[in-house]
Structure 1
Amino acid sequence: MRYLPLTDTDRSAMLETIGASDVDALFVDVPADHYLTAPIEGLPHHASEMAVEKHMRALSKQNLAAADAAFFLGAGAYRHHVPATVDHLIQRGEFLTAYTPYQPEIAQGTLQMLFEFQTQVAKLYGCAVANASMYDGSTACWEAVAMAGRVTRRKRVVLSGALHPHYAETVKTMAKFTEDQIADALPSLTAKPDNAGLIARIDDQTSCVVVQYPDILGRIPDLAEIAEAAHAKGALLVAVNTEPVALGAIKAPGELGADIVVGEGQSIGVGLQFGGPYLGLFAVRDPKHVRQMPGRLCGETVDAEGKRGFVLTLSTREQHIRREKATSNICTNSGLCALAFSIHLTLLGEKGLRALAAENHRLACIAADRLAQVPGVTVLNDTFFNEFTVILPADAREVVRKLAQDKVLAGVSLGRLFPKVDALSGGLVVAVTETTTEEDIATLGRAIEEVLA
């Protein structure tokens, strides 16, 4: 049976209802030169299951797994050790296929897990309320911008130049549909973030200021100073965190005045997985803003017999009730990744998270000291957590490519993140976690010395 067993009559009725002459009319926005006019060259029309398996295995061997290299990649996705317990528990049948519950009364286990997850995120972020997760950090960032517009009824958004460019691009893409005015900037290669320059761009029409913490260069901005300036103009502060392990060592954004805190939860419980799926986190400091939050919120209550129970307190998209009044385009949560996050954070506890953060920072300091000894290399940062930027006397993209051939993944080049900005081409963002050994750090130092010699 076909997945969508529609008859010709069904299709005709649907097209007539939406006012389309035929199916091709649905794709009118796709440029004509992007249409396929013939089968893709080199792609076979069919193959046996065994042949396909053999071919896919051969392709997979071209990958270089993080565990098979000296690994220093970061810039929004980090390699951390995920305990085997996490994988074991999330593969239980009642969790593995779980979707956001539309009949919450029969999904008490899922609701309780999400309730605990929300509690963990709220405490981690220093906020009053967190939702039941979102797609990933970049889409959560946009949702924060959209929410700030609803709260302030303003349309101007100020982005820090040190916001991850992928997050900035997501915001700019979505803003095309809401007519928000995005005031962005480029990062400055300075030891400290340019807070004064950022604050100078806030005006009386600004809905929110978006600041990454730590930022894309690994620096740690003074959120309290920015929050005070934003609030003086009636704007909200949106803090973006891409490395939640850092919050085991630095103050929570909500404690520093951030009104909305969002980020990527991948570091805790979720492997790199070649880019996804990942986990968006979203929280607000003031409970009065709960009604403007996107996504879903789970709550605790008692049943008719007085027993503890869990409910879907808010379903703010309301896709199954009043879609036109939705606060978000996101219609589900990253349930399995949220579960992995919650299990891992539960295993760590507050003491374990602080110890993990301390080890990350210790190893990063060793790496920064080693790279500072390489002739021609300058460590940009005065402060950092487990990620910092070095300035090379050559195009960092070329250095990264050469080292990758020897299974040394040296970091993420700023030239890759900002390909149109020549002034940033020598920048290399280096990330160090508890999975990095001191031998790996020594290998990286030697390898860069050899390439630059």
Structure 2
Amino acid sequence: MRYLPHTDIDRAAMLDTIGADSVDALFSDVPSDLYLDGPVEGLPLHASEMAVERHMRRLSKKNLAAADTPFFLGAGAYRHHVPATVDHIIQRGEFLTAYTPYQPEIAQGTLQMLFEFQTQVARLYGCAIANASMYDGSTACWEAMVMAERITKRTRVVCAAGLHPHYVSVATTLARFTRASVDTAVPVLEAGAGEDAIIDRIDEETSCVVVQYPDILGRIPDLQRIADAAHDKGALLIAVNTEPVALGALEAPGDLGADIVVGEGQAIGVGLQFGGPYLGLFAIANPRHVRQMPGRLCGETIDADGKRGFVLTLSTREQHIRREKATSNICTNSGLCALAFSVHMTLLGDAGLSRLAAVNHALACKAADRLGRVPGLKVLNDTFFNEFTVTFDRDARQLVRDLADKGILAGISLGRLFPDEASLSGGLLVTVTETSTEEDIEALANALQEALS
């Protein structure tokens, strides 16, 4: 905790400079009934530093850490091994900032890192251009929808049933303030929730079709078929990827016809971190759309002496250009998380990413085979990468809580993701990564078998 050594004289001088009578005057817009009129109930008036540290350690021990138990959670936040090199590099003084520099050309190291990051994302997604990152996958997804509206001059967005419900929630919330109409009508497990149902919903008013790859249940949709149908109607295809490791095994969305590819980059280099900060990835297939792209772009150039250099090439946010011409009000990129992603990706390389993906898929196949032998449990997926859905005749939410009490984080209940779809109450999304062991898988299978017997 920082110590601010301001004296009463210092504070009086600062208040005089800004023309305020007191510190309270700075909060005059806050209603008086919202002010505290005394100490917070239950908190001691003071405690020593050691006592506070001891108290916080006791609180932290109530957590069930991912590394201390069989862990099968996913759905957009994945536990992967992050090499120690990543943490070492991102804590160097030259890099330890989450912000893009406002005098960018003097920060050549940061700009070069972002340039390399953009190159990695573009190659990963099979696209021509990637930006210097965004807040997270859900907001990147929304920005892609708005970008499609600008390009097509249409406002109707068709979301596939398998799009992460949290991403859908962000889109529908933000759509209240725009002209966009978000169509999310098809339940995720309805008989017609596949490619045919998506294609049937595309019309001449559709600006874009949004498809998750792999989807929220772990299924792998046919992007090429959906892209062809969207393009026939003059719409764009937005592919959403929440697990970038999957692209070490699956064909890149941009190579399958996706016009905009967005996603969450947390799985590479960032770690779970209690839910954030995370990393939004954003790339486009057609360079002609670059000026409709949100966020920032770093570029490579040559200086007056003929030396290689890096610059902030494009920044079309409302702080930099006329508000009505801005493509986004994004105020920063996730610079530190982008650095972590880039360092980890550099350590992996193409071959390493493919090997990591193969290990993930092989372990997930072993888990699906083993869970498929549990009486009363059915594996839903025919295809998957490292997460798949199982169903059974019991409330999965309660089962997840029961297994957590036994030290096993079994997965994410579909009832939690889709609280309004009663038919999904017995569904469980199971994620298996390279951090899962065969002993973990066996422990999960045995626990499920005991709970369902």
TM, length-normalised to structure 2: 0.92
The 3 A distance-change label for structure 1 pair 173 and 12 is farther
The 3 A distance-change label for structure 1 pair 305 and 192 is farther
Answer whether contact 1:295 1:330 (CA < 8 A) is retained: yes
Match of 1:18 in 2: none
Whole-Å separation in 1 of the counterparts to 2:108 and 2:41: 51
Whole-Å separation in 1 of the counterparts to 2:151 and 2:85: 41
List aligned pairs for 1:353-372, cutoff 5 A. 353-372=353-372
Match of 2:57 in 1: 57
Match of 2:114 in 1: 114
The 3 A distance-change label for structure 1 pair 11 and 68 is farther
The 3 A distance-change label for structure 1 pair 61 and 358 is same
List aligned pairs for 1:91-170, cutoff 5 A. 91-97=91-97, 99-170=99-170
**Alpha-carbon shift at residue 415 of structure 1 (Å):** 0.6
- Is 1:183 paired with 2:186? no
Match of 2:202 in 1: 202
Answer whether contact 1:156 1:181 (CA < 8 A) is retained: yes
Answer whether contact 1:192 1:381 (CA < 8 A) is retained: no
Match of 1:306 in 2: 306
The 3 A distance-change label for structure 1 pair 399 and 11 is farther
Match of 2:444 in 1: 444
The 3 A distance-change label for structure 1 pair 348 and 193 is farther
Q: Which stretch has the larger CA shift, 170-179 or 96-105?
A: 96-105
The 3 A distance-change label for structure 1 pair 409 and 259 is same
**Alpha-carbon shift at residue 39 of structure 1 (Å):** 6.1
The 3 A distance-change label for structure 1 pair 179 and 190 is closer
Match of 2:268 in 1: 268
Whole-Å separation in 2 of the counterparts to 1:178 and 1:349: 41
What secondary structure is seen at the aligned counterpart in 1 of 2:157? Answer: strand
The 3 A distance-change label for structure 1 pair 47 and 154 is farther
Answer whether contact 1:71 1:436 (CA < 8 A) is retained: yes
Give CA deviations for 1:371-406 in whole Å, capped at 9, x if unaligned.
110111010000000000000210111111111011
**Alpha-carbon shift at residue 123 of structure 1 (Å):** 0.4
Match of 1:239 in 2: 239
Match of 2:3 in 1: none
Answer whether contact 2:393 2:426 (CA < 8 A) is retained: yes
What secondary structure is seen at the aligned counterpart in 2 of 1:71? Answer: coil
Answer whether contact 1:193 1:221 (CA < 8 A) is retained: no
Percent sequence identity over aligned pairs: 72
What secondary structure is seen at the aligned counterpart in 2 of 1:97? Answer: coil
Q: Which residue identity lines up with residue 403 of structure 2 in the other structure?
A: L
Q: Which stretch has the larger CA shift, 251-260 or 90-99?
A: 90-99
Match of 1:230 in 2: 230
What secondary structure is seen at the aligned counterpart in 2 of 1:262? Answer: strand
**Alpha-carbon shift at residue 52 of structure 1 (Å):** 2.4
Match of 1:17 in 2: none
What secondary structure is seen at the aligned counterpart in 2 of 1:75? Answer: coil
Answer whether contact 2:155 2:181 (CA < 8 A) is retained: yes
Give CA deviations for 1:120-157 in whole Å, capped at 9, x if unaligned.
00000000000000111011111111111111111111
Whole-Å separation in 2 of the counterparts to 1:443 and 1:306: 61
The 3 A distance-change label for structure 1 pair 408 and 191 is farther
Q: Which residue identity lines up with residue 433 of structure 2 in the other structure?
A: T
Q: CA RMSD in A?
A: 2.5
Q: Which residue identity lines up with residue 235 of structure 1 in the other structure?
A: A
**Alpha-carbon shift at residue 218 of structure 1 (Å):** 0.1
Answer whether contact 1:193 1:219 (CA < 8 A) is retained: no
Q: Which residue identity lines up with residue 106 of structure 1 in the other structure?
A: I
Answer whether contact 2:97 2:335 (CA < 8 A) is retained: no
The 3 A distance-change label for structure 1 pair 380 and 37 is farther
**Alpha-carbon shift at residue 259 of structure 1 (Å):** 0.6
**Alpha-carbon shift at residue 176 of structure 1 (Å):** 1.0
What secondary structure is seen at the aligned counterpart in 1 of 2:94? Answer: helix
The 3 A distance-change label for structure 1 pair 291 and 55 is same
**Alpha-carbon shift at residue 41 of structure 1 (Å):** 3.8
Answer whether contact 2:318 2:328 (CA < 8 A) is retained: no
Match of 2:255 in 1: 255
The 3 A distance-change label for structure 1 pair 287 and 390 is same
Match of 2:405 in 1: 405
Answer whether contact 1:212 1:239 (CA < 8 A) is retained: yes
Match of 1:420 in 2: 420
**Alpha-carbon shift at residue 185 of structure 1 (Å):** 3.0
Match of 2:75 in 1: 75
What secondary structure is seen at the aligned counterpart in 1 of 2:352? Answer: helix
The 3 A distance-change label for structure 1 pair 11 and 443 is farther
**Alpha-carbon shift at residue 11 of structure 1 (Å):** 7.5
**Alpha-carbon shift at residue 444 of structure 1 (Å):** 0.5
Answer whether contact 2:400 2:411 (CA < 8 A) is retained: yes
Q: Which stretch has the larger CA shift, 213-222 or 57-66?
A: 57-66
Match of 1:174 in 2: 174
Q: Which stretch has the larger CA shift, 170-179 or 358-367?
A: 170-179
Give CA deviations for 1:299-355 in whole Å, capped at 9, x if unaligned.
001011111111100011151443443211211111111011111111111111111
Match of 2:392 in 1: 392
Gaps of 5+ in 1: 14-21
Q: Which residue identity lines up with residue 58 of structure 1 in the other structure?
A: R
Q: Which residue identity lines up with residue 142 of structure 2 in the other structure?
A: W
The 3 A distance-change label for structure 1 pair 4 and 206 is farther
Q: Which stretch has the larger CA shift, 178-187 or 234-243?
A: 178-187
What secondary structure is seen at the aligned counterpart in 2 of 1:170? Answer: helix
What secondary structure is seen at the aligned counterpart in 2 of 1:121? Answer: helix
Q: Which residue identity lines up with residue 232 of structure 2 in the other structure?
A: A
